[in-house]
Amino acid sequence: MIIFKDRVEAGKMLAEKCLHLKGTADVLVFGIPRGGLPVAFEIAKVLRCPLDVFLVRKLGLPYHEELAMGAIAQGGIKYLNEDVIGYSRVTESDIQAVVVKEQQELDRRYAKYRGNRKPFNLVGKTVILVDDGLATGATMKAAILAVKTQQPKKVIVATPVSAQDTCREIAEMVEEVICIEAPEWFSAVGEWYQSFPQTTDEEVIEILKQGDALGK
């Protein structure tokens, strides 16, 4: 079992698992903000390919925000985990209230992170979606659904750690999953890191600036 020092170390280790993609034409790396960006940067650096963000927001339960009942992604995509919604007994109005709140934050981040940067054309591209870890996988599933509407050639998910069941579910949605640790018993992503501070908006923006030089 590997406990990562921090997101940078996890990204470097994950990048080694992605070496078979080096030299592949039309590869784009997307970090799921905010924690996925430091990890994604290390992969993009090794593959020498463009880096960007893909905006997704978890829909947490009203009384337990860390547990995802779904997620929304840029492009108007919404993914709902019907199992969680069923046993949690949340109402449609509860869900809608969380959606409205998270859509506001997604819009704020989109404006702040992207600025005047034009979005990449994903048609026919190999897209690597990266996060710092997957628990329920709700945010990643929403990102996958949103990316697929843009007709990429291939979608790959890369993450340092994922719950085993989530990894299997994600594998059914994409062409490849690259994961270092996939434990059967999984409680929280942060438990797999020695240092797991919240990534700030400023750090995301700085990483994107550095990423602009990649793949050129």
CA distances from 141 to 42, 112, 115, 170, 172 (A): 22, 24, 25, 7, 11
Residue 42 banded pLDDT, cuts 50, 70, 90: very high
The pLDDT assigned to 212 comes to 85
Mean pLDDT of 23-27: 90
Question: Residue 216: pLDDT above 70?
Answer: no
Domain boundaries, the chain: 7-56+118-211
What spatial distance separates the first Cα and last Cα of the chain, rounded to whole Å? 37
For residue range 139-155, what is the model confidence (pLDDT) as tens digits? 999 999 999 999 999 99
Tell me the three state secondary structure of residue 163: coil
Mean pLDDT of 26-55: 95
Mean pLDDT of 90-113: 94
The pLDDT assigned to 25 comes to 87
The fraction of the chain above a pLDDT of 90, given in percent, is 81
The pLDDT assigned to 118 comes to 84
Do the Cβ atoms of 114 and 51 come closer than 8 Å? no
The pLDDT assigned to 116 comes to 80
For residue range 163-176, what is the model confidence (pLDDT) as tens digits? 999 999 999 999 99
Question: Residue 207: pLDDT above 70?
Answer: yes
Average pLDDT taken over every residue of the chain: 93
Question: Residue 215: pLDDT above 80?
Answer: no
Do the Cβ atoms of 53 and 34 come closer than 8 Å? no
| CATH class in words for 7-56+118-211 | alpha beta
CA distance 14 to 160: 6
Residue 214 banded pLDDT, cuts 50, 70, 90: confident
Helix/strand/coil percentages in the chain, nearest 5: 40, 25, 35
